[in-house]
Amino acid sequence: MRSAPTILHLDMDAFYAAAEQAAKPSLRGKPVVVGGIGTRGVVATASYEARRFGVHSAMPVAQARRLCPNAAYLMPRFALYRSVSEQVMELLGRLSPLVEPLSLDEAFVDLEAGGVADDSASARRAGELLRADIKAVTGLTGSVGLAGSKMLAKIASEQAKPDGLVLIEPGTERELLGPMPVRILPGVGPATGEHLRRAGMTTVAHLAEAGEDELVRLLGRAHGVSLYRMAAGHDERPVVAERDAKSVSVEDTFEVDLHDRVRVRNEVVRLSDRCVQRLRAAGRSGRTVVLKVRRYDFSTLTRSETLRGPTDDPAVVREAAGRLLESVDTTGGVRLLGVGVTGLADYTQEDLFAQAAAGERAQAEAQGAQETAETVPGAGEPVAAAPEPPQERRWLAGQDVRHARYGAGWVQGSGLGRVTVRFEEPTSPPGRVRTFAVDDPDITPSDPLPLVRAPAGDQAESSPASRPKSRSGAGEEISSP
């Protein structure tokens, strides 16, 4: 444990929803829900205006619509969120070389390692400057927690929400933690929390009073010892700059249960390809393929297969996922499918056996086609394919678009062959709404616009976090002009 609160935890406020409100002036101050927009989707983030109605993350969208029917329900725009996240992480990197991202909107920073803080005053100053920089660069707000450990810094940022800063002075940990529920501690989930409740322990103070021996008896040595130390405010985990991903996965929830086995198989193939795309984008490979199936009755089955070596070959992943699907009964209907790869590595050891098998199949198919062409009259002649009916263009709520005449806007809704677009930009007043045919050639998908208009000069040079600092006495820093 540190004697100064030099570990910082940043958590952006309602990140996805706040980004959407910043991008869409007409939604500012109104309830916004980002997530799956279908009846079976789940809420990724809800704005604070929506949270007042009881909407929260991981809630089914159908339930959220009942609680807050007048909210704007939007599809996630991860290209925008990643862009903003990169700006935030760059600001954190200027504070310290030790930045531990936890997600797009959350990270730990070791201020001491960056030389920007060594006591409470300098840590608070660094935290306030960071919040100001984030607001200036992204237009969004973030909450900051400062403490002598990662656990307490995260608790402090939760207390600071929204748009605040809380600093926990070293030596006050036990007094602060005592009345808090046991679920506030890392590693205490619903099952452990219920187990402790049955033993009469509902607050952190109860854990500290029970003692280490009692917690070991209840939870086992490793978990019991760790929990007792955390209940006393001790957390020795360092800020780690590099966090290795343990798995890569994708999943989809379907509007209507899938009963057709061929359709289920095709969805598994599609998910396998998406999973490999993410795997390759991360420059990784993996040796264990995992299939997740949630059936009509909400029962969830997971199957896995470990390959001979790490791979990023889509054919290998597709075949493994297909074999796993054969072991699952889907006759009652499937509401969710997922494909993942674990056991990640930085290199690929090609599965020669799988590749050879794929080559043999391709050769056999070619040979069969040739034999058919030789024995069946007209089999080798090209056949004109029947023209496919044109697919109706699909527009999703929240999607960025551009109109040849009216400029940039976003999809407010679509249906019955029509699409409604609100034309506005992040830096404009709330815009007008216009309706078009879904196949109007003047409307095209567009990339997200920046939330904040870049100044004429280099933002990086004007940012307080990037100014060179010199020390003048303990805990005091002077910004050079």
Q: Catalytic residue positions?
A: 106
Q: Measure the CA–CA gap between 226 and 232, rounded to whole angstroms.
A: 10
CB 272 within 8 A of CB 339: yes
Terminal CA-to-CA distance of the chain, rounded, Å?
35
Q: Measure the CA–CA gap between 237 and 79, rounded to whole angstroms.
A: 32
Q: Measure the CA–CA gap between 253 and 442, rounded to whole angstroms.
A: 32
Tokens of 17: 């929803």
- Evaluated on CA atoms 405, 410, 413, 414, the torsion sign reads positive
Strands (DSSP E) contained in 218-366 are 247-258, 285-295, 300-311, 334-345
- In angstroms, the Cα distances linking 270 to 263, 267, 280, 322 are 10, 5, 16, 11
At CA 292, angle to CA 291 and CA 296, rounded to 5? Answer: 135
Beta bridge partners of 402: 408, 444
Residue 23: which of 413, 424, 447, 404 has the closest Cα?
424
Beta bridge partners of 373: none
Residues contacting residue 25 through CB under 8 Å, at least 6 positions apart: 424, 425, 426, 428, 429, 430, 431
Q: With 0-12 CB in 10 A as exposed, 13-18 as middle and 19+ as buried, what is 357?
A: middle
State the DSSP code for 388: P
Tokens of 52: 């007042």
User: For 47, what's the count of Cα atoms within 13 Å in the CB-facing half-sphere?
Assistant: 22
Q: Measure the CA–CA gap between 416 and 396, rounded to whole angstroms.
A: 14
Q: Measure the CA–CA gap between 334 and 299, rounded to whole angstroms.
A: 10
